[in-house]
Structure 1
Amino acid sequence: MKRILLVILLGIGLNAFAQSQTQDKSITKNSIITGGSFSLGKNEFLLNGKPFLIRAGEIHFPRIPREYWDQRIKLCKAMGMNTICIYLFWNYHEQEQDKFDFAGQKDVAAFVKLIQKNGMYCIVRPGPYACAEWDMGGLPWWLLKKKDLKVRTLDDAFFMERSAKYLKEVGKQLAPLQIQNGGNIIMVQVENEYAAFGNSTEYMEATRKNVKAAGFDKVQLMRCDWASTFDYYKVNPEVATTLNFGAGSDIDKQFKAFKEQNPDAPLMCSEYWTGWFDNWGRPHETRSVNSFIGSLKDMMDRKISFSLYMAHGGTTFGQWGGANSPPYSAMVTSYDYNAPIGEQGNTTDKFFAVRDLLKNYLNPGEVLADIPAQMPLMEIPKIKFTQAAPLFQNLPLGKKSVDIKPMEMFNQGWGRINYRTNLKASAAPRKLIITELHDWAEIFIDGKLIGKLDRRRADNTIEIPATKANAVLDILVEATGRVNFGEAIIDRKGITEKVEINDGKTTTTLQNWTVYNFPVDHAFQAKHKFSAQTPNGPAWYKAKFNLTSTADTYLDMSSWGKGMVWVNGYNIGRFWKIGPQQTLFMPGVWLKKGENEIIVLDLEKPAEASIVGLKTPIIDKIKPDASLLSRKAGQELKLANEKPILTSSFDDAKGWKDVTFDVAYNGRYVCFEALSAQQANDITTSIAELQFVGVDGKPISTQKWKIIYADSEEITAANNAADRVYDNQESTMWSSQFVGGKTKHPHQIVIDFGQEVSIKGLRYLPRSDKSKNGMVKEYRIYLKATPFQL
């Protein structure tokens, strides 16, 4: 009996040893990972009890056609990754309350199993909040039907109840795939960059409990924040803390404070920003290969785990693109992100730079995987549109409302909404005032376009001509993306407050509206009455085109205005002539041999109603509809008669600088004047973030801020506009022009706070990369109740 027991135990031990060996070498093969353990050790992660350095690449399955998932995963592995990091977006899986969808393109479990099949591990970031330049940061629009909604807080029981229910649904899909259950999920994130929004330890603890209650009770939990914010709240000791920062960062300084407080913790950069996202009307964002690869090498030399955000960005198809605020700025459809793997799954210089670097840091016996074949590309000859359906001739059934309301209150999540009412007669022009327009509108009177208003520019007033009695006023509003980051995330669409008429003497609130909803689903677009005509305003355009073969292509939208495209029922995304994106990625797997259908909704009028398919994308061509500069031609800021409230200097160290004034000062307009730079002969100025602190010791809200003047801005060689100083993004910055323009100090920016405030200090953040170009040394601060003379 003892002999039999010994044989059994020996067999179990040998099997366990063999399994451990297979697991340890699984990242070198395509064998399926069969489970194990993952935990925190002293200064390192432990996989099956052995040190494990995470080399992760982030990719988002909703941004990649399902047929391409495997190729994108294999590309990450070939680049040197052993792990794939993924977000889930709550609003993607629960578009209507209590209707959860994890099928087809949304089958996250299938995606994670495919990662496992490729011999890679997975880090899951389920939210409930994600960010990711995704509409409302992944929070569902229907939450906004609750008028007093609060999010990411214990102060709203409805939000906490719904987010817990969502997490349980995620758990049903993915909890069985924890590494301890035989799967490949080694970590699950609790919330996301919470310190950039709040500091409630109690909320984070409640969310941690919700994640565990969802079934993630075995896997290692983690959270991520910035080096400057990770200690804004406490976290349960079982949750690993990781930091996020961008290309070119000084690695030692990023982790300095964290290591001092957590000397035994493993180090990981959970989002190493390989590039950056693009905004409509702004220059295309890039990050150099040298700065990006330099900091990545620094992490490898220090045995710091990382996740490339993004390894491959893909495409934000449909209505899912988000926005930043302040200032309001919506994201383009392409999520190329200047990442190592391009939007179409193509390899780039960054891809090969990463691969060439990581081959020097592989474990014994580990080899880089082969690079999979790139998906084929094709051109499509000119598609001419001869069928159209004018918008105002194809209105859906209207809904009556006494008062103006946002689209969510009409049970609409995305798209366009038209508000119609009648005007009283007036023999003179009047002003139309819209309070809280979200986000872009065309104003019509009796079907004639009067003008446009744009939230990006804080437009809210337009002059309308004299009108006869009962003239029809139409306000056609497009939602261009909900804010996905910061305090403005509760971002209802349409017109959210009121519409008024001012005749120079009195202001009257308009009422008695008929509201028309234009959702984004394909069935709604296809049902309109198309005929051979050339519309002179907002319209749908439809065409058929035949293909003898299929492959990926880029639809050239450069002759069109502003709107959305559907091909064979798939919503390909938004387009806008202002750029920088002029093409839309069209996956070949969504095309068909034979007849294909394309529908374009253009809220303006195309210069030419035709489209061709290109082999090369155009994502770097802006055609701004207004000057991007904060300084008008001939403007000069006059400070000779102004008295500064502070003249001082900063040291040359990186990181936030805090300045406290002797007394509080009141004013609405502030001027920051850089007198010199830290480096001799440096003629530029750069600022990553600038905050002004109120008498309560807290930074003043930036939601109403506006740049009135900047003597110099770099908006051609890079996207370094002056409003970057208050965009709440530490890796972006304002910079004076590198060449040309004003080439010497002083450099000034003037900010309108939007209201009079009382300030007791300021906080200044220099650029966060390794460069010291433009770092401010001597400076002056001016504050006034009235505008500065320009």
Structure 2
Amino acid sequence: MKLTKLFTTLALAATALFVPANANAASKSGDFTVGKGTFLLNGEPFIVKAAEVHYPRIPQAYWDHRIKMCKALGMNTVCIYVFWNIHEQSEDHFDFTGNNDVAAFCRLAQKNGMYVIVRPGPYVCAEWEMGGLPWWLLKKKDIRLREQDPYFMERVKIFEEKVAQQLAPLTIQNGGPIIMVQVENEYGSYGEDKAYVSEIRDVLKANWYKKNDEGKLVGPALFQCDWSSNFTKNGLDDLVWTMNFGTGANIDQQFRRLGELRPDAPKMCSEFWSGWFDKWGARHETRPAKDMVEGMDEMLSKGISFSLYMTHGGTSFGHWAGANSPGFAPDVTSYDYDAPINEWGLATPKFYELRKMMTKYNDGKKMPAIPKAPMGIISVPKFQLTEYVPIVNGINRVFKDSQSSHMTFEEMDMGWGSAVYTKVLPEIPNQSTLTLDAHDFATVFINGKYIGKIDRVKNEKSVALPPVKKGDRLTILIEAMGRINFGRAIKDFKGIVGDVVISTELDNNEVSINLKGFVTCTIPDDYNTAVKAFASEAKENISNDLGLPAGKGKAGYYRGYFNLKKVGDTFLDFETWGKGQVYVNGHAMGRIWSIGPQQTLYIPGCWLKKGKNEVIVLDVVGPKETVVWGQTEPELNKLQLEKSNKHNNIGDKPDLNSMTPVAKGAFKSGNGWQTVKFGQAAKGRYLAIESSSLHNGTDVAAIAELYVQGTNGQRLSREPWTTKYADSEDENGNHTGDKVYDLQESTYWQTIKGAGFPHLLVIDLGSVQTISALEYLPRAEQGAPGSIKDYKIFVY
């Protein structure tokens, strides 16, 4: 009897985890389905008002507060990605504990009366390392990601089964909060492969659906999301179709095609972008609150469901921030996203404007109270990081490669960190050029003397070398940043990814030396490696042997401490430091880089303690000063660049007077893609678009996206594209020339008011191409602001 009572008590306790704070997300068995023009929750019309939040970007101790903040906005659902690579950081080793306990997060949402939408990938994007895919997939060099590659699909099935083991018991059909599950993610921006998308759907169905008493398969509503311009490429008949678009978009236009194909289907914007993400070396991104609130008000007035991406962005702690493409544009640590709830969990002016509007759609009920923050904000006086050991103290393995010119991180079984590549050189009596493809930031030394850097962000591939003697040592220190998270370039190997070549002139002949046989040392990025580095004596002799300078102010590990009488959230300022990673009390806090715009790191108070707190910085460049302090506000918009991001060097401006345009005319007014076919194919490396007038009569021109077509009518790759020249760019608004090929239809190049006509944008295609047509997309907002009327197109 005692055992029976004990089991009953335990069962009741377990059940209590699923009991909601109110009846909005009832724990009894229910259903969520698609009706005519609406979603149906237990047979009644239901508008999804979802808040996108990401559990790994929030300390577990703050989950409850952030969910309550979303509820205080009038939301009835939280939407989450499931990040494969944080749950399976090495093959077959899964972690769903602590900050990775996604089931606990879902139960907490239900406890707060919220439903849940789960987006389990396998690919998620989210400005997250490799879009959520695990780096170790790249150990199989010929793998085809996001396709029906046998090994990729084998690993996807294992991962999705593990996720379902955690979450399938929490579907609404089982009395849990989960109402919808997404199939893949924005696949139309990657390719067209219905067979692959169908297989992902089948994998999810096999794990999330079960037969009911009538023998019918039941489970959460399955949906797929894409952009209005590409959702038909992979749309499956048995899935719900949802659209993704940003604030200010023409909402009727976004759903027009869906309405034509499925007039009775419910409408949902599964990602309504509240702001945007920040990239190293560019201004902090913001979006007007007015546009966000008006768009959501319009959708709700028309019965359109939504998920606000992001409602609370949080932080990409450690090495989890990704990078965007074309080119290489790594994301900063902060994922503030200019969201209504800021990075550290407090309400912004956007929050209050949105909350006021949402009151109209709260069924006449009083809005939930705004919860008190778990902790206050504290400052920390300046303190020095006085302990130092050279970066070589972090070396864990050494490889001698005589067969090839390099080894990538993946070939050395390292996912994140840095590597030292070193090689004894032959005599090269003249100046020369070292060329290599370094992923991602390389510093180059000869006999321990700094020669220069190769920065992938700037598309740099070479550095000038002085004359060298036989036996001089070349050393290349490479730090990897986040892997690309969007587009075809997600197959992003790290380290040296191609030949290493020295080019020089000998006896009036051009000579190229392909260097092979590097000695390579790996330096993993993790706290344990940092601690071990301090536990061993400073290896100055090894630094010399490897050709790396050592000593304070150089690359290495730095450690210091600060004391607290009171614990709270703070923002540690690292603007005097170079580039690298920070660990506080054993927690990986994220990347720092002096170029900005982010100069502080958010430090959650729940990870601090009264008394002594430890800070370790791994700086791969070296600091100007080893000082740190804690602010009460973040610094997210302070650039420290060598030069402006603008592309207005007059020497790069072409003389169009001597050229004949390959096409000229007038674009139509309004939203949507337009194609200009050339009379005959044109050959050249540079594409120039000249605008002499706009449809709205102003002088502020804008272009959202551009593509060019080859002779077969197919779009050519934009991966090698760079901006050659722009007569005017709104740098403060991050509306620079690169926005026309950043794979994002909601961002755009825009000129500055008063710049005057004609406006000119020149794109370097990377090599000579044969082009038959140009595709042009104006801004997505109502009326397509800044859309070009009269144009000329040149290829040269």
- The TM-score, its normalising length taken from structure 2, stands at 0.92
Please say if 1:106 is aligned against 2:104: no
Deviation of 1:367 (Å): 3.0
Please say if 1:70 is aligned against 2:74: no
Counterparts of residues 645-660 of structure 1 (less than 5 Å): 645-660=662-677
Contact 1:136 1:484 in 2 (8 A): yes
How many Å separate the matches in 1 of 2:312 and 2:27?
Answer: 23
Deviation of 1:635 (Å): 5.5
Contact 1:205 1:236 in 2 (8 A): no
Aligned residue type for 1:763: E
Counterparts of residues 55-454 of structure 1 (less than 5 Å): 55-154=49-148, 156-217=149-210, 218-237=219-238, 239-364=239-364, 366-374=365-373, 375-392=375-392, 395-402=395-402, 403=404, 404-434=406-436, 436-454=437-455
SS at 1:611 equivalent: strand
Deviation of 1:613 (Å): 0.7
Cα 1:536/1:559, change in 2 over 3 Å: closer
Contact 1:564 1:574 in 2 (8 A): yes
Aligned residue type for 1:466: P
Q: Which moved more, 1:629-638 or 1:291-300?
A: 629-638
**In the alignment, what sits opposite 2:7?**
none
How many Å separate the matches in 1 of 2:703 and 2:522?
Answer: 43
SS at 2:204 equivalent: helix
Deviation of 1:581 (Å): 0.4
Aligned residue type for 2:204: V
Deviation of 1:527 (Å): 1.1
SS at 1:209 equivalent: helix
Cα 1:339/1:771, change in 2 over 3 Å: farther
SS at 2:75 equivalent: coil
Deviation of 1:213 (Å): 1.5
How many Å separate the matches in 1 of 2:25 and 2:298?
Answer: 31
1:737 to 737, 740, 752: 752
Please say if 1:719 is aligned against 2:734: yes
Please say if 1:515 is aligned against 2:520: yes
Counterparts of residues 30-69 of structure 1 (less than 5 Å): 33-69=27-63
Q: Which moved more, 1:617-626 or 1:224-233?
A: 617-626
Task: For residues 127-159 of structure 1, give each alpha carbon's deviation from its aligned partner in whole angstroms, at most 9, with x where no partner exists.
Answer: 0000000010000000001111111111x1111
Query: Structure 1 regions of 5+ residues with no counterpart?
Result: 1-22, 785-790
2:596 to 567, 579, 583: 579
SS at 2:355 equivalent: helix
Please say if 1:776 is aligned against 2:765: no
Q: Which moved more, 1:336-345 or 1:33-42?
A: 33-42
How many corresponding residue pairs?
752
Contact 1:33 1:120 in 2 (8 A): no
Aligned residue type for 2:101: D
Task: For residues 334-387 of structure 1, give each alpha carbon's deviation from its aligned partner in whole angstroms, at most 9, with x where no partner exists.
Answer: 0000000000001001111111001011225x4311100023110111121111
Deviation of 1:636 (Å): 4.2
Contact 2:553 2:624 in 1 (8 A): no
Counterparts of residues 762-773 of structure 1 (less than 5 Å): 762-770=774-782, 772-773=784-785
**In the alignment, what sits opposite 2:542?**
none
SS at 2:488 equivalent: coil
Contact 2:684 2:770 in 1 (8 A): yes
Counterparts of residues 523-602 of structure 1 (less than 5 Å): 523-529=528-534, 535-602=552-619
Deviation of 1:515 (Å): 1.0
Deviation of 1:76 (Å): 0.1
Aligned residue type for 1:160: M
Task: For residues 49-80 of structure 1, give each alpha carbon's deviation from its aligned partner in whole angstroms, at most 9, with x where no partner exists.
Answer: 00000000000000000000000000000011
**In the alignment, what sits opposite 1:623?**
640
Identity over the aligned pairs, expressed in percent? 45
How many Å separate the matches in 2 of 1:677 and 1:38?
Answer: 47
Contact 1:34 1:184 in 2 (8 A): no
How many Å separate the matches in 1 of 2:251 and 2:70?
Answer: 23
Cα 1:214/1:470, change in 2 over 3 Å: farther
Contact 2:31 2:172 in 1 (8 A): yes
How many Å separate the matches in 2 of 1:442 and 1:428?
Answer: 21
Counterparts of residues 18-33 of structure 1 (less than 5 Å): 33=27
How many Å separate the matches in 1 of 2:24 and 2:31?
Answer: 19
Contact 1:443 1:473 in 2 (8 A): yes
Task: For residues 213-239 of structure 1, give each alpha carbon's deviation from its aligned partner in whole angstroms, at most 9, with x where no partner exists.
Answer: 1234511101100011111123032x1
How many Å separate the matches in 2 of 1:62 and 1:147?
Answer: 28
How many Å separate the matches in 2 of 1:394 and 1:215?
Answer: 44
Aligned residue type for 1:175: A
Deviation of 1:663 (Å): 2.4
Counterparts of residues 572-721 of structure 1 (less than 5 Å): 572-632=589-649, 636-680=653-697, 682-716=698-732, 718-721=733-736
Contact 1:541 1:600 in 2 (8 A): yes
1:748 to 746, 760, 764: 760
**In the alignment, what sits opposite 1:20?**
none
Q: Which moved more, 1:341-350 or 1:33-42?
A: 33-42
Cα 1:393/1:98, change in 2 over 3 Å: closer
Contact 1:188 1:216 in 2 (8 A): no
Task: For residues 441-490 of structure 1, give each alpha carbon's deviation from its aligned partner in whole angstroms, at most 9, with x where no partner exists.
Answer: 10011111110111111101111112222211111111111100001110
Contact 2:79 2:307 in 1 (8 A): yes
SS at 1:359 equivalent: helix
Deviation of 1:394 (Å): 5.5
Contact 1:538 1:605 in 2 (8 A): yes
Aligned residue type for 1:546: N
SS at 2:490 equivalent: coil
Aligned residue type for 2:164: G
Deviation of 1:747 (Å): 0.8
SS at 2:208 equivalent: coil
Contact 2:554 2:623 in 1 (8 A): no
RMSD over aligned CA atoms reads: 1.7
SS at 1:183 equivalent: coil
Contact 2:378 2:570 in 1 (8 A): yes
How many Å separate the matches in 2 of 1:449 and 1:307?
Answer: 50
How many Å separate the matches in 2 of 1:233 and 1:634?
Answer: 45
How many Å separate the matches in 2 of 1:392 and 1:320?
Answer: 24
SS at 1:297 equivalent: helix
Task: For residues 379-424 of structure 1, give each alpha carbon's deviation from its aligned partner in whole angstroms, at most 9, with x where no partner exists.
Answer: 1111211110112465444111122121111000011111111111
SS at 2:144 equivalent: coil
Task: For residues 242-268 of structure 1, give each alpha carbon's deviation from its aligned partner in whole angstroms, at most 9, with x where no partner exists.
Answer: 000001111111111111111010000
Cα 1:771/1:547, change in 2 over 3 Å: farther
Contact 2:60 2:99 in 1 (8 A): yes
SS at 1:708 equivalent: strand
Q: Which moved more, 1:442-451 or 1:532-541?
A: 532-541
How many Å separate the matches in 2 of 1:635 and 1:497?
Answer: 29
Q: Which moved more, 1:591-600 or 1:188-197?
A: 591-600
Aligned residue type for 1:552: D
Deviation of 1:39 (Å): 0.2
Aligned residue type for 1:207: I
How many Å separate the matches in 1 of 2:56 and 2:226?
Answer: 24
SS at 2:233 equivalent: coil
How many Å separate the matches in 2 of 1:195 and 1:362?
Answer: 35
Contact 2:671 2:778 in 1 (8 A): yes
